[in-house]
A and B are shown apart, each in its own frame.
Chain A
Amino acid sequence: MKLHVLSVLVEDKPGVLARVSSMFARRGFNIHSLAVGPAADPGNSIMTVVVDAAEIEQVVKQLRKLINTLKITELDPSESVEREVMLVRVSADATQRSELLDAATVFKAKAVDVGATSITFEITGTPSKVNDFLELIRPYGLIDVVKSGWIALARDSKSRNLRAIS
C-alpha cells in the first residue's frame, strides 16, 4: 500500500478537526495517520494527513470542498521532512537491559524511564525508522506503544501545490 502525505492548512475554528474526520468517515476514506497543531499564522492550523494513494485525488478534492480548508500541499517524500515520535514501554529484566540500551543507541532512541521490569524509550525519526526500532525490540515484549502520527514539512521551496483541476 502506497501512502501519500498531505499537509492541510485549515482555519482554526471550533470543530474543524471534526469536519475533516466526519468527511473521511462519510466518504469511506482510510486515514493512515492524522496529526494537527497550530500553524505559523495565528488563527490557522496545519494537519498532516496520511492516506492511501488510490484515493488521493478524491481526498484532496473533498478536503478542498470543506469551507474551512485554505490550502492543501501534497508532500513528496524526497522533497520533504517526515517525522514521527513514539513512546514505547518494553519488558526488560536486569539481564536484558544492556542489550536494549545498545539497540537504542544505534537508533538514537532515548531511555526516558527505567524500572525493575521494563524500560520506556522515546524515539523521533522518519516513520520507517521508528517502525524498524519497534520491530527490533518487539521480541522483548511490548507493554505499551504510543505514536504521534506523521508530521511533515516541505524542504525549502520544493513543495508541490496540488490544486484541484481548474
Chain B
Amino acid sequence: MKITVATALIKALEFEGVDVMFGHPGGAILPAYDPLYDSSIRHILARHEQGAGHMAEGYAQATGRVGVAMATSGPGATNLVTSLANAYMDSVPIVAITGQVPTHAIGNDAFQEAHTWGITMPATKHNYLVTDPTDIPDVIHEAFHLAGTGRPGPVLVDLPKDILNTEIEWHTPTGQVDLPGYKPNTKGHPLQIRAAVELILSAERPVLYAGGGIIAAGASPQLLELAEKANLPVTTTLMARGAFPDMHPLSLGMPGMHGTYAAITAIQKADLLIAIGARFDDRVTGNPDSFAPHAKVIHADIDPSEIGKVRTAEVPIVGDARIVLDQLISKLDRTLDGREAPAHEDWLETIRAWQRDKVVGYDQEAGGPIKPQYVVEELYRITGGDAIVVAGVGQHQMWASVLWKYSKPRTWINSGGLGTMGYAIPAAIGAKVGMPDRLVYAIDGDGCFQMTMQELTTASTEGVPIKIAVINNNNLGMVRQWQRLFYDGRFSQTELTDHTPDYVKLAEALGCVGLRAEQPSEVAPVIEKSLAINDRPVVVEFKVDPDEMVFPMVPAGGSNDNVALSVEDLK
C-alpha cells in the first residue's frame, strides 16, 4: 500500500520508539502534522521553535533517549538553530525535522525559504536535505543512529513539501545503517589501557577529571569504582555534575572559573590528570599554558578530535567512557593482583585541608535582603536534593551547580558550552515530560526567564507541572559582576529594575501559580507551598540581593594558580 512520505515520516518516528516530540507547525511542514493527528506520538506545541528545540534537549538530558523537535521552513528552522548549536556543544542527542519549500522552489527565495541545510551544517553532527522520497525510512533511522551513538549530537532532516506529499511504498528499516565513514571506536586500545594503569599506579598526586561523557555513556558506577579502587580524587565539570556523588569523600566538586578552590588547585598541583569524557574547555583550563603544569595527561574520549585539541595527552585513549573505565578497572585489578593501590594519604590530606580552609560563604541576615545562595541551599534542604535541577546561564547557574549536592547523573541539566540564556524553562518542560514522576525544579535568573517565558503557556496548557525559582536580582547578574570587577562598576545595560515584569501576575496570566518571597523568612514557606502544588506549573519569585557575586573566580584567560575567593583577592 502506498503512503505519503509525511505518513512514512511519522511511521518511521514511531518505529524508532518516539513517544513524544516537541514542535510548532507551519506551511511547509503541514503535511507531516496531518498524520501526526492520528499518531500515538504525543506532540507538545511549543510557543517558539527555540523552545521546542530546548525541550527536546531537556528530554534527552533527563532520559538519555533521543529528543525530537519539529518545525517548519524558514523562520521555523532558523529559530531552531540555537538549540542545535547548544546540543552540538553539549553533545545532546536530538533529531530535528524541518519542512522546506518544494524542491522546484528551492533557491528562488520562495516564501519562508531559508537555506536550512547550509545554515545548520556547522551546528549539527550531520544533516540531510531529502530529495529522494523513497529514502525517508532509512534517513530517519540513520539520523537516530547518528544522534544517539558515538559522541551524541544533533541531526537535522530537512524535508521539502513536495517530497512530504509524494506517495511511496513503506519499507521497514532493516536496522542496518549504510554509513561507511562513521564507525565510532568504543573500546580503548589495550596498550594505552596498560600505559594508563601504569601511570595511575605510579602517580603521587592524581586527579580524575570527569566530563559530560561520563553521563552520556552511563559510566557513573564505573567512575565510582575506579576512584575508590585507586583512591583518586574526582572533579566533575559543569556538564558532569551528578556523575560522581558530591558527598563522597573523594569528591572535589566542580573545576574551572567558578569551581571549588580544592578542585582548581588539585589540578594545578597534580602530577597526573585522568580526563574522561572531558574536553579541556577554556572555562575549565583558564589560560591553557599554565593549566595543570606538572601533570601528565591520560585523555579518554569517544571523539578523537578532542584528544590533543587543547592539551597534548601522554596517554590518548579513544573509546566510550564506560567501556574504557571497565577496561581500566579490570587492568588495574589484574596488575594489583590482590595488593592495595597507593592510598595517596598525604595528597588526600592536602586536599582535605583546602576543602576545610579555602571556602567561600555568605551571610544571610534575618532582616534581608535574601541572598541568592540561601535560596539554592533552602531549595536543596527542603527537597532533600531529590529533584532534577534545570538552570539557565549566569550567576544562578553557578550557584545551582556548586551549592547543590548532586548524587545521581541526569539530575542536573543546563546549557554548558554554548551558554544559552533562557535554557531553563523549555529544558525543564522537556525533562518533566520525559520523567513525569520526578520533581523538576528550574532555577532561573530574571534575565534568562524573560528570554523564554512564553513557554510557561506550553507548560500550563500541556499539563507539565514544572516549578521555576526565579532568582530575581533585577539585573543581568553575571554581566553586572564582570562590569563591577573589570569595567569600574559602569553598569551598562545590565540593570533591569525599571523594566521588569511582575512575575506573579505574569505567571498567573500564563496559567501558572505565581508565588513570591521578599524576606528571608518567606523563603522556606514559599518553597514548601510550591512543592504542595502539583496540578499546575509554579513560578516562585525570590527578590534577592543584586550585589552578591559568584566566588571562587578565576578571571577569563587567567591562570588557575590565582583563585580569587573574594573581591579583595582580585585587587
Is B121 in contact with A70, judged by CB distance below 8 angstroms? no
In the complex the two chains form, is B304's CB within 8 Å of A67's CB?
no
Task: Give the residue of A58, A69, A70 whose beta carbon is less than 8 angstroms from that of B309.
Answer: A58
B305 contacts partner chain A, Cβ-Cβ < 8 Å:
yes
Interface residues on B, range: 20 to 34
Segment at the B interface, from A18-26, A92-100, A126-134, A150-158: A18-26
B37 beta carbon closer than 8 Å to chain A: no
B304 to chain A, nearest CB (A): 4
Q: Provide the B163-187 mask, 1 if CB < 8 A to any CB of A, else 0.
A: 0000000000000000111100100
Pairwise interchain contact A64-B304, C-beta atoms closer than 8 A: yes
* Chain B residues within an 8 Å CB radius of A64: 304-305
Interface residues of A in 49-89 (CB under 8 A from B): 57-58, 61-62, 64-70
> Would you call B121 and A19 a contact (CB within 8 A)?
yes
B residues in contact with A116, CB < 8 Å:
none
Which of the residues B122, B131, B305 comes within 8 Å of A22, measured between beta carbons?
A: B122
Task: Please pick, from A62, A70, A166, the residue contacting B318 in the complex, using a CB distance under 8 A.
Answer: A166
Q: Which of A18, A164, A166 contacts B121 (CB 8 A)?
A: A18
Minimum Cβ distance to chain A for residue B261 (Å): 33
Which of chain A's residues 1-40 have a Cβ closer than 8 Å to chain B? 10-11, 14-15, 18-19, 22-23, 25-26
Name the B residues within 8 Å of A15 (CB-CB): 117, 121, 129
B94 within 8 A of A: no
A165 proximity list for chain B (CB < 8 A): 304, 307-308, 316, 318
Instruction: Kindly report which residue of chain A lies nearest to residue B151, judged by CB atoms.
Output: A65
Q: Of residues 293 to 322 in B, which have CB atoms within 8 Å of A's CB atoms?
A: 303-305, 307-309, 316, 318
Inter-subunit contact B308/A70 (CB<8 Å): no
State whether A61 and B304 are in contact (beta carbons under 8 Å apart), knowing that A14-B129, A19-B121, A166-B189 are contacts in the complex: yes
Residues on A with beta carbons closer than 8 Å to the beta carbon of B331: none
**B146, CB-defined interface residue at 8 Å:** yes
Whether B118 is near chain A, meaning CB under 8 Å from some CB there, is: yes
Q: Which residue of A lies closest to B303 (CB)?
A: A65
Q: Are A66 and B181 interface neighbours, CB within 8 A? A: yes
Contacts of B318 in A (CB 8 A): 164-166
Query: Using an 8 Å CB-CB cutoff, how does the interface string of A135-165 with B read, 1 for contact, 0 for none?
Result: 0000000000000000000000000000011
Which chain B residues lie closer than 8 Å to A57 at the CB level?
Answer: 308
Q: Is B352 an interface residue (CB 8 A)?
A: no
Question: Contact between B304 and A166 (Cβ–Cβ < 8 Å)?
Answer: yes
In whole angstroms, what is the CA distance A26 to B305 when docked?
A: 14
Q: Number of contact residues on A: which range applies?
A: 20 to 34
**What chain B residues lie within 8 Å of A58 (beta carbons)?**
305, 308-309
A15 to B303, CA, bound (A): 23
Residues of A within 8 A of B182 (CB): 67
Contact between A11 and B180, CB atoms less than 8 A apart: yes
Q: Which residues of B contact A65 (CB under 8 A)?
A: 303-305
- When C-beta atoms are compared, the residue in chain B nearest to A23 turns out to be B122
How far does the Cβ of B535 sit from chain A's closest Cβ, in whole Å? 45
- A15-B182 Cα distance, complex, nearest whole Å: 17
Check if B48 is an interface residue, CB within 8 A of chain A: no
Which A residues are in CB contact (< 8 Å) with B125?
67
How many whole Å from A27's CB to the nearest CB in chain B? 9
Q: B126 and A26: CB pair below 8 A?
A: no
Q: How far is the CA of A118 from the CA of B179 in the complex (A)?
A: 52
Query: How far is A62 from B189 in the complex, measured between Cα atoms in Å?
Result: 21
The CA-CA distance from A25 to B122 in the complex, in Å, is: 9
Residues in chain B near residue A70, CB distance under 8 A: 180-181
Q: CB within 8 A of B181: which of A11, A18, A166?
A: A11
- Cβ-defined partner of A26 (8 Å) among B122, B180, B185, B304: B122
B437 vs chain A, min Cβ distance (A): 37
Residues of B within 8 A of A14 (CB): 129, 131
Q: Which residue of B lies closest to A65 (CB)?
A: B305
Most buried by A among B118, B125, B126, B304: B304
Which of A10, A11, A166 lies in contact with B185, CB distance below 8 A? A166
- How far does the Cβ of B160 sit from chain A's closest Cβ, in whole Å? 13
Look across to chain A and name the residue whose beta carbon is closest to the beta carbon of B306: A61
Establish whether residues A18 and B316, one from each chain, have CB atoms under 8 Å apart when the complex forms. Answer: no
B483 to chain A, nearest CB (A): 29
Q: B181 touching A68 by the CB < 8 A rule? A: yes
Closest CB in chain A relative to B185 CB, distance in Å: 5
Contact A67 B307 (CB under 8 A): no
Residues 87-136 (chain B) with a chain A CB within 8 angstroms = 117-118, 121-122, 125-126, 129, 131
A19 to B180, CA, bound (A): 17
- B146 touching A67 by the CB < 8 A rule? yes
**Are the CB atoms of B121 and A62 closer together than 8 Å?**
no
**Minimum CB distance partner of B188 in chain A:** A166
Q: Tell whether A164 pairs with B304 under 8 Å between CB atoms, given A11-B180, A67-B181.
A: yes
Q: Mark B328-356, 1 if CB is under 8 A from A, else 0.
A: 00000000000000000000000000000
B455 CB → nearest A CB, Å: 30
- Complex CA gap A11/B122 in Å reads 19
Bound-complex Cα distance A159 to B309 (A) = 26
Query: How distant is B384 from chain A, measured CB to nearest CB, in Å?
Result: 42
Q: What distance in Å separates the Cβ of A22 from its nearest Cβ neighbour in chain B? A: 5
Q: How far is the CA of A92 from the CA of B182 in the complex (A)?
A: 54
Q: How far is the CA of A58 from the CA of B307 in the complex (A)?
A: 9
Query: In angstroms, how far is the closest chain A Cβ from the Cβ of B51?
Result: 26
Most buried by B among A14, A61, A64, A70: A61
Q: Complex: how many Å from CA A164 to CA B184?
A: 11
Nearest chain B CB to A8 CB, angstrom units: 11
For the complex of A and B, 9 pairs with smallest distance between CB atoms:
A61-B305, A164-B304, A26-B122, A67-B126, A165-B316, A70-B181, A69-B181, A22-B121, A67-B182
Given contacts A165-B308, A166-B185, 18 further A-B contacts (CB under 8 A): A11-B180, A14-B129, A15-B117, A22-B118, A22-B121, A22-B122, A58-B308, A58-B309, A61-B304, A64-B305, A67-B126, A67-B181, A67-B182, A70-B180, A70-B181, A164-B318, A165-B304, A165-B316
10 contacts between A and B (CB under 8 A): A18-B118, A26-B122, A61-B304, A61-B305, A67-B125, A70-B180, A70-B181, A164-B304, A165-B304, A166-B189
B residues with CB within 8 A of A:
117-118, 121-122, 125-126, 129, 131, 146, 179-182, 185, 189, 303-305, 307-309, 316, 318
